[in-house]
């Protein structure tokens, strides 16, 4: 049997035994009433996490869900403004471009959160823009873009807001209806601590208005067909449902419900705060520098000048069985990432910081004690 590794990367995340066992249950017919009940409960749980009524499940990665969100929301060749303040903002712009949309890029500064007023100003000067695309939790930089203020800015200009929430769903509030967010794409393998392979899309009322008017060609990713199937008395999906993956997701959502959604959000915030205190205690800095809202699901760390991230990542995995995340894009050689999403617990954070501290001392990265980060994190967790 392969050795279990501790996944402290920003996805896929640790999958608990209960979730694995649910996916290993005997196969059932995906059109049966038995499975339909499972799917119904999955949709009910997801409605709470998205904060809207209509949630759709498909066999895809998170990228597929984001593609579906964009492909269904715009007119053929339509103009879309994409906030590009990180690697996944770049990806969203690339998806829109590859779908044949006219992409306007804005805020190409990876060191700052999205600026709703700047977006509103662009929209006011260009009435041809149909929608705004934005990443909620920018997984490359760990910046958390503000949904509420962006929703108000975009709705105030009468446009659609399409959001990538792949690394925030389950770890940070989305509240689509309250925050005026129209279409959101996410996935199973991060904050929902399930195996990869399930894409989920939330659609609000304004989103449906645009989707029902769009004449874009789509078949497998047609959200209208998905809604029709999900709205049946016995909910289904229009194509073959990945039964085992949905059953795993069902078990994970039950676990979130038992913890409570509010409790899961609080735990993510605690894991994030302890991680950041720990890396600072080791003499490292957060990326980007600045005082703004950071994601509760991932921490991006700036490497000391001239240090090699790949050697550190391989060493920590080989010697401790802990998988940290590499940097991405233009900060790929100058950062690394610590994921603390899904079912990550205090002991996991302490273990990861201890392994990192050991490497840093042995390789001359720090003058702090090897256990400095782990001790600071444990002290934080021990506070009442």
Query: Is residue 2 scored above 90 in pLDDT?
Result: no
Residues 6+ apart with CB under 8 A from 280: 286, 376
Residues 6+ apart with CB under 8 A from 28: 34, 35, 243
At residue 384, the pLDDT reads 82
Q: Which CATH number fits domain 261-382: 3.40.50.720, 3.40.50.2300, 3.90.1330.10, 3.90.1150.10?
A: 3.90.1150.10
**pLDDT tens column, 222-267:** 999 999 999 999 999 999 999 999 999 999 999 999 999 999 999 9
Q: Look up residue 302 and give its two tokens.
A: 């700036």
Residues 6+ apart with CB under 8 A from 373: 278, 279, 281, 282, 353, 354, 356, 357
Residue with tokens 């050689």: 333
Q: Are 137 and 295 in contact (CB under 8 A)?
A: yes
Residues 6+ apart with CB under 8 A from 61: 187, 196, 197, 199
d(CA 87, CA 189): 19
**Any idea where the domains of the chain sit in the sequence?**
17-257, 261-382
At residue 3, the pLDDT reads 61
**pLDDT tens column, 198-228:** 999 999 999 999 999 999 999 999 999 999 9
At 1, the pLDDT band (50, 70, 90 cuts) reads very low
Mean pLDDT, residues 350-376 taken together: 97
Helix (H, G, I), strand (E, B) or coil at 201: strand
Percent of the chain with pLDDT over 90: 98
Asked if CATH classification 1.10.3720.10 holds for the domain at 17-257, the reply, yes or no, is no
Percent of the chain with pLDDT over 70: 99
Please state, rounded to an integer, the average pLDDT across all residues of the chain. 97
**pLDDT tens column, 115-172:** 999 999 999 999 999 999 999 999 999 999 999 999 999 999 999 999 999 999 999 9
Query: Is residue 276 scored above 50 in pLDDT?
Result: yes
**Enclosing H/E stretch for 124:** helix 116-125
Q: Look up residue 122 and give its two tokens.
A: 């662009």
At residue 210, the pLDDT reads 96
């Amino acid at each position: 049997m392969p050795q279990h590794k501790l996944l402290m990367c920003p996805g896929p995340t640790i999958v608990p035994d209960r979730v694995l066992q649910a996916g290993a249950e005997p196969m059932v017919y995906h059109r049966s009433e038995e499975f339909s009940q499972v799917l119904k409960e999955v949709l009910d749980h997801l409605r709470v996490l998205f904060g809207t009524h209509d949630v759709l499940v498909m066999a895809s990665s998170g990228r597929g869900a984001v593609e579906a969100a964009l492909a269904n929301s715009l007119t053929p060749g339509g103009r879309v403004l994409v906030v590009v303040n990180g690697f996944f903002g770049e990806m969203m712009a690339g998806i829109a471009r590859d779908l044949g949309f006219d992409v306007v890029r804005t805020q190409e500064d990876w060191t700052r959160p999205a600026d709703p007023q700047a977006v509103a100003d662009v929209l006011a000067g260009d009435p041809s823009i149909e929608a705004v695309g934005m990443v909620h939790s920018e997984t490359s930089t760990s910046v958390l873009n503000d949904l509420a203020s962006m929703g108000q800015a975009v709705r105030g200009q009468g446009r659609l807001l399409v959001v990538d929430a792949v690394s925030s769903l389950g770890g940070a509030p989305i509240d689509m209806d309250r925050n005026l967010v129209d279409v959101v794409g996410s996935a199973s393998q991060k904050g929902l601590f399930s195996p990869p392979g399930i894409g989920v899309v939330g659609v609000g009322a304004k989103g449906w208005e645009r989707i029902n008017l769009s004449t874009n060609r789509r078949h497998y990713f047609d959200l209208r067909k998905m809604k029709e199937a999900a709205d049946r008395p016995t909910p289904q999906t229009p194509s073959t449902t990945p039964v085992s993956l949905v059953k795993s997701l069902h078990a994970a959502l039950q676990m979130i419900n038992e913890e409570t959604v509010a409790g899961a959000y609080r735990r993510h915030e605690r894991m994030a705060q302890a991680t950041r205190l720990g890396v600072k205690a080791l003499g490292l800095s957060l990326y980007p520098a600045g005082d703004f809202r950071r994601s509760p699901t991932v921490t991006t760390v700036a490497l000391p000048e001239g240090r090699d991230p790949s050697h550190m990542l391989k060493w920590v995995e080989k010697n401790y069985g802990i998988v940290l995340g590499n940097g991405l894009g233009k900060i790929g050689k100058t950062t690394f990432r610590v994921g603390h999403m899904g079912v990550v617990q205090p002991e996991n954070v302490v273990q990861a910081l201890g392994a990192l501290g050991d490497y840093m001392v042995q390789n001359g990265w720090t003058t702090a004690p090897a256990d400095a980060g782990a001790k600071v994190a444990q002290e934080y967790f021990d506070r009442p």
